[in-house]
Amino acid sequence: MREKTLKIATIVSKVLLFTLGVVLLNHLFDASGIALAFAAGVIIPGDSNDTHTVDAAVPGFNRPDVSKDIAQLNPSRYPMDTIFRNGGFGAGGRVEKSASLIKKYYQFVNYMGNDGLSASGATSGGTTSATAVKQYTYVSGDGLQTIWIAVNNGNLWQKEALLIMRDLSVSPTGVVATTGLTAKVDVVFFVEDVDGNAIKIRPLNGIKGINTNANNYVIPNFTSTTILYKAGNAKSDVALMDTSTSYYPTAKQNYCQNFIKTVQESVFEEKQAKEVQWDIRDMLKIAAYNIRAEIETCMYWGVAAEIDFAGRKRYTMNGIDKFITNKVYYGTSTTDTISIDQFINIAKTAFIGNSGSDRKLLLAGADLIGALMQFELSNTTYMKTQTKEKWGIVVTELETNYGVINVAHAPIITEKGKSRYGYLLDMEYVNKAEFVPMQQKEHDLISAGISNSRVISLQEVSTIWLDNPECHLIISPTNI
């Protein structure tokens, strides 16, 4: 009796599991909008069926806007595309669903922190703004109390501001000299004047001159690669306000690119008996994979262009690599092994010295993922990792003392010849605009007398851009 009861329970459980499986498959395929009509066991009368008859029998099966639903098709294969279809990265990063122009204009304000010496500066001079220098070496004389230097961004500087040059080589005697510069000192300068991309500076510490400048601090040696760190200003006792500054965003633009994939099945092909169940819906699923791969490829490496061809305009968009200016390297001339110093440099560059968040996403090729895995296995003392699902994809969190890096393999990066590269993105500043969201449209060529076929297209017209470019990073192998 007990065995009979167990057999009945087993049969019932199998029936329930089968029923649940059918329901789940129906939900999944209906969500994608491109599955076969028989997934739910619905019988639709007639020799052939168009989208109208399918919708009548299975409401919501054919969805004109499949932008988010399509993300359920192998989401980890197209991580960036999946994230956008799930609504974007975070509070800052966003998906604009109603872009009104093919040319997408956007604005951003750069974080103004540090500056550098301009490559166009003079190698000698510095007595006037017209002869502002990019480097200085003491040769002879009593020393200079002031000097004009050429900077990259004159808008960053105002009169009475302070700047710092770090680790300048000076004589341990504290007096200007041409040799024996074995001591290192951080020197603070006072900005006396600003003229375009030239500023006049006076040292407040460091080394003193000789003869007439024996009691005055003078300009120490500095190279063209010296970083200028902006500090506060120093106003007089009667000052009530600083020089007023207006912060305006910089206008940029990117083009919305028209992506289309079309599949076709003749009525005869549809009616033909087949060895396997295969029709235009299966073709459309393959088209969905292809269009997502093409969109994501352009998101990484596209080039903005306005093409006048055959009497019509075509537009292509810039990929994220055209926005990112910061790049760090790993490995050596012969291997792609990541050293401890290189990993620390990646983390420092990603999180320090910019206005970004403390959590970022690294989309990486297979070889870079492998190098990170080797580093993790070799340095368990330094690494804290855990796997999570975020933004609709699976990521591995790498915890550093500077911030958290969420790592995800991006197969497109691997397949398109960049498997040793990675793109470290600040999720708050990655944006997408959709002039036409991903949609599915069936073309009635039969009624028009053009073709005895069913033709369905997937279309999206969209673009991407990054705010605050200094918050993002390209990770590249050394031996490229």
What would the pLDDT profile of 102-120 be if each residue is shown by its tens digit?
A: 555 555 455 456 778 888 8
Give the per-residue pLDDT at 239.
Answer: 67
14: left (phi over 0), alpha (psi -120 to 50) or beta: alpha
**What is the rounded end-to-end Cα distance, in angstroms, of the chain?**
74
- What CATH number is associated with residue 369? 3.90.1690
- List the one residue out of 229, 128, 143 whose CA is nearest residue 178: 143
Is residue 241 included in any domain, yes or no?
Answer: no
Average pLDDT of the segment spanning 62-75: 50
Average pLDDT of the segment spanning 27-52: 34
Is residue 478 included in any domain, yes or no?
Answer: yes
Domain count within the chain: 3
pLDDT of 464 above 60: yes
- Strand 473-477 to strand 327-330: parallel, antiparallel, or no bridges (unpaired)? parallel
Give the per-residue pLDDT at 94.
Answer: 55
pLDDT of 49 above 70: no
One domain for residues 89 and 136: no
Give the helix ranges, DSSP H, for 352-399.
366-378
CB atoms within 10 A of CB 371: 24
One domain for residues 434 and 348: yes
**What is the residue type of 66?**
V
Give the per-residue pLDDT at 347.
Answer: 92
CB atoms within 10 A of CB 332: 13
345 close to 383: Cβ distance less than 8 angstroms: no
Give the per-residue pLDDT at 32.
Answer: 34
Tracing tokens 């003491």 back to the chain, one arrives at 138
Q: What are phi and psi of 329, to 5 degrees?
A: -120, 155
Tracing tokens 């004589």 back to the chain, one arrives at 171
Averaged pLDDT of the chain:
78
Give the per-residue pLDDT at 474.
Answer: 96
Q: Which of 233, 256, 283 is the last residue of a domain?
A: 233
One domain for residues 119 and 104: no
Is residue 238 included in any domain, yes or no?
Answer: no
One domain for residues 167 and 78: no
Give the per-residue pLDDT at 473.
Answer: 95
One domain for residues 121 and 91: no
One domain for residues 201 and 87: no
CB atoms within 10 A of CB 72: 17
One domain for residues 303 and 444: yes
Is residue 407 included in any domain, yes or no?
Answer: yes
Give the per-residue pLDDT at 47.
Answer: 35
DSSP H or E segment with residue 197: none
One domain for residues 385 and 434: yes
Q: Which of 179, 200, 233 is the last residue of a domain?
A: 233
One domain for residues 39 and 174: no
**Per-residue confidence band for 54, with pLDDT thresholds at 50, 70 and 90:** very low
Give the per-residue pLDDT at 139.
Answer: 94
Radius of gyration (C-alpha) of the chain in whole angstroms: 31
Two tokens, residue 164: 């710092």
Residue 123 belongs to domain spanning: 114-233
Q: Which DSSP string do the residues of 57-118 spell out, in sequence order?
A: HSTTSS-SB-TTGGGGSSGGGSHHHHHHHTT-SSSSSEEETT---SEEEEEE-----EEEB-
One domain for residues 136 and 192: yes
Give the per-residue pLDDT at 56.
Answer: 44
Give the per-residue pLDDT at 195.
Answer: 94
Is residue 412 included in any domain, yes or no?
Answer: yes
One domain for residues 72 and 52: no
Two tokens, residue 469: 């470019």
Q: Which of 39, 57, 75 is the last residue of a domain?
A: 57
Average pLDDT of the segment spanning 158-176: 91
SS3 state of residue 455: strand
Q: ∠ CA 312-319-358 to the nearest 5 degrees?
A: 150
**Per-residue confidence band for 75, with pLDDT thresholds at 50, 70 and 90:** low
176 close to 138: Cβ distance less than 8 angstroms: yes
Is residue 41 included in any domain, yes or no?
Answer: yes
Is residue 159 included in any domain, yes or no?
Answer: yes
Tell whether the torsion through CA atoms of 261, 266, 270 and 274 is positive or negative.
Answer: negative
Q: What is the pLDDT of residues 202-250, one digit of tens each?
A: 999 999 999 999 999 999 999 999 989 887 778 777 766 666 555 545 5
One domain for residues 91 and 119: no
Is residue 239 included in any domain, yes or no?
Answer: no
Give the helix ranges, DSSP H, for 258-410.
267-271, 280-301, 340-351, 366-378
- Percent helix, strand, coil in the chain, to 5, is 25, 35, 40
Tracing tokens 């039969």 back to the chain, one arrives at 446
Give the per-residue pLDDT at 100.
Answer: 54
DSSP H or E segment with residue 30: helix 2-32
